[in-house]
Amino acid sequence: VQLGPAGDPFVVINLETVEVEVFAEYHQDFIVAFQVVSAYRHTNDHGLFRVWPRALYRQVVLHGNYAYLRFFMQHLPLGK
């Protein structure tokens, strides 16, 4: 499975919670990050979803990745 346009060096199997959070925050493709976080939801219930504010800040505010925001808003509610 290729995780991005050029493939990714990330290994996404048997991750600890912190590793999933780091992956989600730093990965530039929201769809891939969302799939990985969703896949690990069974071990952390919905606790992993707390990563999205940090991921949005990093990807949208710091890097100007507006496609990330657009895809985020298609999949998750944007609220306070």
**Reported confidence tier of residue 1, pLDDT bands at 50, 70, 90:** very low
Contact 17, 43 (CB under 8 A): yes
R_g of the chain, CA atoms, integer Å: 12
Would you say residue 25 has pLDDT above 50? yes
- Residue 10: predicted pLDDT: 63
Against a cut of 0.85, is the pTM above it?
no
CA distance 16 to 7: 22
Query: What is the rounded distance in angstroms from the CA atom of residue 53 to the CA atom of residue 65?
Result: 14
Question: Other C-beta atoms within 10 Å of 10: how many?
Answer: 15
